[in-house]
Amino acid sequence: MKNILLILILLSPIFLHGEESWPSKLVVDYRSNPVTLHLVEVSDGFPHYTHPKLNGFLLRIAGRLLVKHEKTLNLSNLDDFKDTPQMPILKLNDHTMWTVVQLSNPQAVINAMVKLRHVPGVLLAEPDFLQLKITAARGEKARSESNETRYTAPQNYVRTVLNIKEWPLLAGENVNIAVIDSAFNIYDDSLNIPKIILNYNVHRRERIDKARIEPRTIFNDPYHGNASLSLLWGVGEQAKGLAPQASAILIERAVNWSSDLALALQLAQSAGADIIACPWTLRFTPQIVSDALDALTTMGREGKGAIVVAAAGNQYFNIDDSLSFAAEPNVLVINALSNGQLWPAQKKQFNAILPVPYLINFQGRTLSYSGTSSASVAVSGVIASLLSIDPALSRQEIEDLLRKFSSPELEVQELVKYVVAESKSNRNHN
């Protein structure tokens, strides 16, 4: 396979731009199978590639390279990498890992990809892609897809919308929920998070200092992140969240670099996440992200499998015929229902469907949180409640329960009652 990929890169027609030259086709891995990307344009010195299944999204190559290699191989010993900044970013097992390498420019990334395919111990070398909409790549207003919340008429708070009459008093107890979102304001009085295990910004590669207050932009506006937190840890008689006793792992990531996403998932696993709420989607899932998901959903929770819950996306596309994050086999994909109509993303079978929108409180205001983002976080809260009732439930058992109580909308109250009854029955038999 390495030789085939190398030939494809070397024999592709070359696109010249100034002093640089770019292959018109670039072969990368998607779930360990080759996918051919096509050069679309070069903007400000950065080449942008795409694929027919990306539906208007581009993959920008900048100056970082991702290398999957055997742990016994020290990349710093290679001539081309002796003086380059490097960071181990994902440990897959005792033998294999991913490292991100900072190079001087996109041309150096392309050249290094070709060279590394000859090096024993290197399993894969790919660009650290930045995923953008076409308009964003061409210099217009850029905004992460994770922040594209469709605003609909406010209705009510989440427990009311889901017709919850009875709920475990200690919902979320002994459960760790990781939320990966654009930004958070943990000092909002509308939240009460009992314990924050980790608060981290993956783009800056640093823990967030509680004392630091930063100016907010469209890239780190905490509205979307806090809306997610409100569904889990909201306070107030009406606005109470679904998992108030859970501990939080908060991971900020505002833009879609492959390395940022892989690091976010690795941090969630290292911090002991039981559930990972991903209220966003990607149109292309790089191999490093697939590897991180596979490790998390098989080795997480002491082998029971961590539960990754993702939004289906708020735009029309066929998930089953895509390269998207929502097409990953180990991800629970959640769609939303408004006024009796499903939101437009298509899939043969969603893992759960919930009605939206929900009211949330944010910095003294009452706002609406809608779309598949809000539905996915609500499902994460439901799952946290189930795990606080029965911690032994595996990822597969959770998936089976969601299917059992969907018709097609998830019957949340009946599901929780069933798990409570099963847990009592099991204790009585023991």
Active site residues per annotation: 181, 224, 373
State how far Cα 58 lies from the chain centre. Answer: 18
Nearest Cα to 288, choosing from 127, 70, 141? 127
Q: Which two tokens stand for residue 160?
A: 């009311």
Rounded CA-CA distance 335/259 in Å is 27
Beta bridge partners of 311: 334
Q: Which two tokens stand for residue 90?
A: 């994902």
Radius of gyration of the chain (CA): 22
Half-sphere exposure of 129 (CA within 13 A, CB side): 23
Q: Which two tokens stand for residue 421?
A: 């009854």
Query: Within 10 A of 409 (CB to CB), how many other CB atoms are there?
Result: 16
Helices (H), 44-102: none
Specify the amino acid at residue 266.
Answer: Q
Query: Within 10 A of 321 (CB to CB), how many other CB atoms are there?
Result: 11
